[in-house]
Structure formats: C-alpha cells, structure tokens
C-alpha cells in the first residue's frame, strides 16, 4: 500500500499570547511571556500565584449565551481554535465529503473547572444532590472533539487522546497516521486545556511540580536551566487542519506547511543574528 502525503491547510489558536494565530506568532517572536499573576481566582494563599492565562477571550464571539453555559472553558478554547482553523483552511467554502473528515483532539484533564464547581456546590449544600444536568457532558475529556464534529457536521473518526502532557502530540500523530493510511481525507486536530483554578494549581503545587517564582513570573519557565524549579501552568487551545495532499490540491487549498516552514526559517535567522 502506498502511503498518502499529509499537508497542513489551516491553523487556529486561543493562547496566553493572543487569541488568534497572528497575535500569538507576533508575541512569540518578540519574546513576550504569557505568564502573569493569576486573575481567574484569588491565589494569594497558594504556593504558586501565577500562570499563563488566556486573556481577553469572549466566548460569545463563538457561541450564544445559552450554548456557552453548556461548555467548560477547555471546550470554549478548543472549539474557538477549530473554528479559526476550519475557516483558515476554507473547508466550509467547498463541497467536501464530510464522512471523510474527522476530529482527533487532545486533552490531559478535560473539564476540571466544571468538576470543581459542581463539587464545591454540593459541599456547600445540605447533602441533597443537586447537580447540573450538563455536569458530565461538560467535564468528560472527549466532549470537545464531539462538539467540533457536531458544529461542522463531520462524520469521520472522532475521539480524544489522553496522555498527560503529550495528549495533543498524540492527537497530531494519530491524525497524521489516519490520513497516511487513507482512512480520512481531512482531520481537525490539536488540543485544549483549562486547569488554572483552585484544584489545578493546588493539585500541582501538592505534587511540587510547579515553579514558585512568584516574584518573576515572566522568567519562571526555564526548561534545562539549573535554576529551574518547576513548570508554569498554561491554558488555551490550538488547532491544525491535516489534509491529504491530493485532496488539498483538488480543492485549491492553500498549503500552509510550505509558507510556515519558510517563516520559521526566516525568524530563526533573525533570532540567531
């Protein structure tokens, strides 16, 4: 069997450095840090009081109010990133076979805020079980992949990879493999996370996994440095459209992998100089 060639035709992102790909890339190249004092909750009593939060994101740019309430922030970020990427790829502009378009998404934790909020709410009550009917659908890790497929009507492979910090990398590898083997023409892939809350920060602090460099959040993330004291927790969503080469060419898609590699090389030259 001859393996198919895979290209990237769309990008999308909701990140601590910007809520679209252009802003993210501009700030990344400029050396901007996404780390700052936590604003999602009062972290004054926590060992770590900073994180890389998404800033200025408004769910109502992508959902109506009713729909937004049914989704955990990790879904907000993931679906918004997918909307950007699908638009970037022009997938809604042509007549494509949606049974050959899938979604393979990554999330290590899923709806942690939803889980925390529901447990907090129960603990404050008198023991009578009063839970949101969307509690489980908002929390489970594979719900973001499902919502992306439902939003666009895709009927191809659909699941979520969960492998801690490698979850989204696994999703990309699986998406690549599905297309190479001819199991799909297009895969919407990437990942999202939203664990900057009391449970997330407290849990990682208890594991002594995160940096406590509260006096200098911008330089706290320093992998391979001998002064490193832990990682910095971040949140957001990122999406790539993986597509089989001949399928992309047939619909006149803009193959971003070429221009992306060129841009990377150009910026590396700038940084090295």
pLDDT over 70 percentage in the chain:
94
144 and 63 Cβ atoms separated by less than 8 Å: no
Rg of the chain over all Cα atoms, to the nearest angstrom? 20
Confidence of residue 266 (pLDDT cuts 50, 70, 90): very low
C-alpha span between 35 and 43 (Å, rounded) = 14
- Closest C-alpha to 149, from 89, 83, 87: 83
Strand partners, 236: 193
pLDDT over 90 percentage in the chain:
92
Element (H, E) at 255: none
- Average pLDDT for 5-15: 96
19 and 76 Cβ atoms separated by less than 8 Å: no
Q: How many Cα atoms occupy the beta-carbon half-sphere of 158 within 13 Å?
A: 18
Confidence of residue 1 (pLDDT cuts 50, 70, 90): confident
- Average pLDDT for 108-126: 96
Tokens 């770590």, located at residue? 48
What are the structural domains, with CATH classification, of the chain?
6-272 (3.40.47.10)
Residue 262 pLDDT exceeds 50:
no
Q: Is 0.75 topped by the overall pTM?
A: yes
Neighbour tally for 12: CB within 10 Å: 26
- The pLDDT, as a whole number, for residue 85 is 98
Residue-wise pLDDT for 137-173, tens only, equals 999 999 999 999 999 999 999 999 999 999 999 999 9
Q: Is 53 strand, coil or helix?
A: coil
Residue 97 pLDDT exceeds 90:
yes
Element (H, E) at 62: none
Sign of the dihedral defined by the CA atoms of residues 237, 243, 249, 252, in that order: negative
Tokens 């920060």, located at residue? 201
- Average pLDDT for 62-89: 97
- The pLDDT, as a whole number, for residue 270 is 44
- Average pLDDT for 45-63: 97
Residue 265 pLDDT exceeds 50:
no
């Amino acid at each position: 069997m001859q393996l198919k060639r895979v290209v990237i035709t769309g990008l999308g992102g909701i990140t601590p450095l910007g809520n679209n790909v252009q802003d993210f890339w501009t700030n990344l190249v400029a050396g901007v840090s996404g780390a700052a004092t936590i604003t999602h909750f009062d972290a004054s009593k926590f060992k770590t009081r900073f994180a890389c939060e998404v800033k200025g994101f408004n769910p109502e740019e992508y959902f109506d109010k009713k729909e937004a309430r049914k989704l955990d922030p990790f879904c907000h970020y993931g679906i918004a990133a997918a909307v950007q990427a699908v638009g970037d790829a022009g997938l809604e502009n042509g007549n494509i076979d949606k049974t050959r378009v899938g979604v393979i998404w990554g999330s290590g934790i899923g709806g942690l805020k939803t889980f925390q909020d529901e447990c907090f709410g129960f603990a404050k009550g008198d023991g009578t079980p009063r839970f949101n009917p969307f509690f489980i659908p908002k929390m489970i890790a594979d719900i973001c992949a499902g919502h992306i497929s439902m939003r666009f009507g895709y009927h191809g492979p659909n699941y979520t990879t969960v492998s801690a910090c490698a979850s989204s990398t696994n999703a990309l590898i699986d998406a690549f493999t599905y297309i190479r083997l001819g199991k799909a023409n297009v895969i919407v892939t990437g990942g999202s996370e939203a664990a900057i809350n009391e449970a997330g920060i407290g849990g990682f602090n208890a594991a002594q996994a995160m940096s406590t460099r509260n006096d200098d959040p911008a330089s706290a993330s320093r992998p391979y440095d001998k002064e490193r004291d832990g990682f910095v927790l971040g949140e957001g969503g990122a999406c790539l459209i993986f597509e089989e080469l001949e399928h992309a060419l047939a619909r006149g898609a803009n193959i971003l992998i070429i221009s992306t590699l060129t841009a990377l090389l150009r910026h590396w030259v700038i940084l090295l100089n």
